[in-house]
Structure formats: structure tokens, C-alpha cells
Amino acid sequence: MKAVNRLGVSAFFALTLFPALLQASTLKDKQIRHSLHWGYSGSAGPEHWGTLANKFVLCGSGMRQSPVDIEYDYSVELYPLLFEYQPVPLKVVNNGHTLQVNYDSPVQQKTVSIGGKSFPVKSRPVYNSKLMLGDVPYKLLQFHFHTPSEHAVTGERYAMEVHLVHQSDDGNLAVVGVLLKRGAKNQLLQKVLDNVSGTINKVNVTGIMVNSADLLPDKRQYFHYSGSLTTPPCSENVNWLVMKDAMEVSGQQVSRFTQLIGANARPLQEILWRSMLLSE
């Protein structure tokens, strides 16, 4: 029984943006910045996120939080995930919470010349690297890693998980999660580990090319549910698209990532009233 069709699922794709962190030099602003510090253990750990700042309140009181244990209700006809990724120069940063690769994807926007000046023409932009959900393009912004995996499948958490963050022209987000099980070395992750700077928040730009398509399994069946960011401010109405098939990562790579970052997976959240759907 197909309880959800493609038209109905399209209503799920309404998401929120990551807010910018405050930067200040006065004592008062420094105190504000300190209150926004968060981590994965101790007094700044996940169980305290909701009390660290007003903008983090959903971390403690939200009803659509992520990650969750994946036990799907039934399979339905969802939009196929059409990935159109292009190689880009590797730009990796250790932001203190994860290793993140910023994925530049230039926008091709039409212009018209009037009186010798160029003016943009209002039209849908074309992204060099994007995810297509139906007829809506989502630009690939970045991808980053967690250990152990943030999502679990019937109670089992994997060695790692990579999140590929996408944004549409109107500011909506779609996050693709790929579970990483222990096995062969992951070539793209190795490039990240080999080229990250030892300085926190320093973006290391290399001449090495990477393609996020190398992080994706061949089969594109996926789980879908409505959730949240897995880090503060834990904003809700995030569309999670977690690939059913896992990719591999070596034990040595997991150990190296843990040395650099430590465990950075949020505890599982209650799924409550939400449906977990599996694409056909």
C-alpha cells in the first residue's frame, strides 16, 4: 500500500539554515561566545545543549530530533535521488567538531546587458554539483564525518557516517547520510585525513581533486524521515535521506579520525510520531 506519493513527499522538503556563530571582542560578547560552546562530553555535552543558549532550546525540547534508530514502516514511491556531482579541488577544515570538506559549486546565472551594464535575469540557477529532488536542484555545500555513525539501523551503529549537505535556491536543506562500515580503506576519506591542517578552523586548500560521488553506494535506495540538525541549534524540519547500502572505511582510518576529533555522534533521539519511509 502506497500511503505517500511523490506529490505528498514534496511537502517534506522545507528546511532551515545553519545560523552563523557570533564573533565579538568585548567582554560581554566573549561571555556570549563562551555560552555557545558545545561538545560531545562533560558540561557542554549533548544532554546539556538545550540549556547552553536560548537558540539551542530545541536540542532539549524538540519533538523531531535527529539522529534516530532506523526501523522503517513500509516502502513507498519516493523521488529518486539524482546526484550530479563534479570534481573540485579539496578544501578541508578541522572545525573542532568534525572534518569538513567545503564543496565549491559555482552558479551559472544568466545576465542581460543594458546600456553597457550587466543585470542578472531572474531564473533558476544551474549548479555544477547538485542533487535533484524531482525538478528542484539542491546545491552541494559540504560534507563532513561522524564516528560512530549518528544513525543506527535496527539498533546497530556503524563505524562512521558521512553527511552531504545540500541547499536549494530558496534556502531549503536536504542532507544525505551514508553509513560507513569497517572494511576496505575509503580513498576519499584518506585524502581528507592526509591533507587536513593541524590548526583548528584553518581551511587547507590543495590541488588534489575530489568527487563526492565516490562517497555514494551504487544502489540509491534510501530511508527518509523528517528530523533536525544533529548539532546545535538542532533546528527541525530537516529532510533526512539516509542511504540503505553502506560504504566501507578501514579500522585505521576510524582510529585516525578519532585521534583528530574524538567521538562526535549525538545520542539517538526518540522518533515519536514520525514515519520512517524506505524508497522502492
In whole angstroms, what is the distance from residue 153 CA to residue 276 CA?
A: 11
CA distances from 237 to 4, 63, 65, 172 (A): 18, 10, 9, 10
111 neighbors 119 (Cβ within 8 angstroms) = yes
Q: Which of 98, 166, 224, 230 is catalytic?
A: 230
In whole angstroms, what is the distance from residue 200 CA to residue 124 CA?
A: 36
Has 150 been annotated as catalytic?
yes
Has 77 been annotated as catalytic?
no
Neighbours of 259 (CB within 10 A): 9
Has 48 been annotated as catalytic?
no
Judged by phi (left if over 0) then psi (alpha if -120 to 50, else beta), residue 134 lies in left
Has 97 been annotated as catalytic?
yes
Q: Which of 144, 151, 166, 224 is catalytic?
A: 144
In whole angstroms, what is the distance from residue 92 CA to residue 88 CA?
A: 12
Q: Beta partners for 221? A: none
Q: Which of 48, 84, 97, 236 is catalytic?
A: 97
Q: Which of 151, 163, 166, 224 is catalytic?
A: 163
What DSSP state is assigned to residue 17?
A: P
Has 163 been annotated as catalytic?
yes
Q: Which of 98, 146, 147, 151 is catalytic?
A: 146
Q: Which of 98, 147, 150, 224 is catalytic?
A: 150
Q: Which residues are catalytic?
A: 97, 144, 146, 150, 163, 230
